[in-house]
Amino acid sequence: MSAQSLVQHEQHQSRLFPVAIDSLDAQTLSLDLYLKANEQADPVLYRAIGVDFSPADRQRLISQGVEFLYIPISQHAAYRRILNTQLDRTFHDPETSRAERGRIIRTACTKMIEDVLLFPGQTDGMAAVADISRQFAAWSAEDEGQFSYLLDMSGHDYYTATHMVNVGVGCGLLFKAIKPDEPELQSLMMQGGLLHDIGKRGVPEEILNKEGRLEPDEWKLISKHPHRGYEYLLEHPDTPDVVARMAYEHHERPDGNGYPRGLKGDEIGLAPRICAVVDVFDAITACRPYRGPTPPDKTLAIMSEARDTGLDGTLLDVWSGLVEGLVREDPERAATSTGEQQEFCLEALVQAAPQPANVCATREPTDRWRDERRLHRRYECTVMVNVRFIQQGKPGPVKLNELCRVEIRDISQGGAQLLIPWAPSLNDVLTVELPVKNGRTITRQARIVRVRSSGGHGWEAGVYFMGGETGNASA
């Protein structure tokens, strides 16, 4: 091998992508696994091809808070085969609850979509999405009830890859409800849903999750994503036309006021109209950094305001009936209303005349069904508070119900941003002691809806308050 070829080989091998621990079963490895001590650290080889990866290895990593390992992108095909086998085993595992099976599969599929977003031009990632779409269709035909648990309605974070997985599953459910005997087309509907927002690659996360009105240049960037996604998919010759059209037309509206082309009525394909309904539902139900989830019943009520103008009315009716049926069957899988929340004393936390953090204009409610307005004004602060974790997705350095101190960085009546020394899991539930007037405190229950690194200083965890106080106010 020439020196130039060796360098190219090493560069190719160094291109790693993450794989969820949940997606790796005990096996004699047919791929190399790398480990990163933290986001800034260089990867180190953890297990090589031919070495056993045991259940003890897996559990040890989980107990240490490791959620992902990394493999060379050149081994993607081998990983896909392993992943498909493992996910099929998970789907059929009678020892695991239906909800937990759905969570494990969603986590692995989210990483799959991240691969597509992170590595443009790689055909393996696109092939993996096509593979899982066909697997989704097979699962749907075999056990529709279990397959429906891949749709998360209970408080997932509005993150592009997570959203794309949810929309892919929802498109499959809605299409099957109107055309139950076309599994091949159902597979394409799910492939299109999984890829519908691929044009958002490169759009900064702070713009995608901005609470207030977008600036003109920000809106210009966002509004290009359907066309960018369409062009990207056309670069892959194996992409079916219906999949590309879902990316291109899912923001068009029946009344002609959508974008990017202003199509109206039947000018918009059936597949994009299906995608639009599920896309809006997931956008509203999902947690945002500044608020918790919106329950399905309230989401459907909001969407009904756009019947036949912003969304296809017939498809919206079918989707509403489908969602209502899923919630009736298992009410615990849907987020519930937070109800009236007791006001706590912001001044006691901010320790000065509170100044709004990142205040920006509120959008006019012209399209409430698409609008994501801030529900509560947020304030910056720096103060230590007592918290107790009462539900954790993975073990942490603090045991359940053990008191610990964390820092609040900003807060509103609806939620807060905490700085935590370790990486908690999405949907962890904790109690937070907050001051009220006269030096007293109340304890509020909160759910973690967003986690990100704080650059070596810990982990920023966005939480929303889940309802009224959990106990009596104390001195």
Q: Where are the domains of the chain?
A: 1-74, 92-333, 346-469
The correct CATH number of 92-333 out of 1.20.1440.230, 1.10.3210.10, 1.10.1380.10, 2.60.40.650 is: 1.10.3210.10
> Is it the case that residue 57 has pLDDT exceeding 50?
yes
Q: pLDDT tens, 72-90?
A: 888 877 888 888 888 999 9
pLDDT of residue 290: 52
Cα-to-chain-centroid distance, residue 13: 29
The correct CATH number of 346-469 out of 3.90.1150.10, 3.30.420.40, 2.40.10.220, 1.10.1060.10 is: 2.40.10.220
Q: pLDDT tens, 301-317?
A: 989 989 999 999 999 99
Q: pLDDT tens, 38-54?
A: 767 788 999 999 998 88
Greatest mean pLDDT among 27-36, 275-284, 438-447? 275-284
Hey, what amino acid is at 87? Answer: L
Q: pLDDT tens, 257-267?
A: 999 999 999 99
Q: Which residues contact 226 (CB under 8 A, 6 or more apart)?
A: 199, 247, 248, 249, 250, 251, 259, 260
> Is it the case that residue 362 has pLDDT exceeding 80?
no
> Is it the case that residue 475 has pLDDT exceeding 50?
no
Distance CA 223, CA 226 (A): 7
pLDDT band (50, 70, 90) for residue 22: low
Q: pLDDT tens, 371-430?
A: 433 445 677 778 888 999 988 888 888 888 899 999 998 887 778 899 999 889 888 889
Q: pTM above 0.95?
A: no
> Nearest Cα to 461, choosing from 430, 423, 405, 431?
423
Selected residue with higher pLDDT from 57 and 139: 139
Distance CA 285, CA 295 (A): 6
Distance CA 248, CA 86 (A): 33
Q: How far is CA 77 from CA 11, 124, 154, 448, in A?
A: 18, 7, 33, 34
pLDDT of residue 358: 41
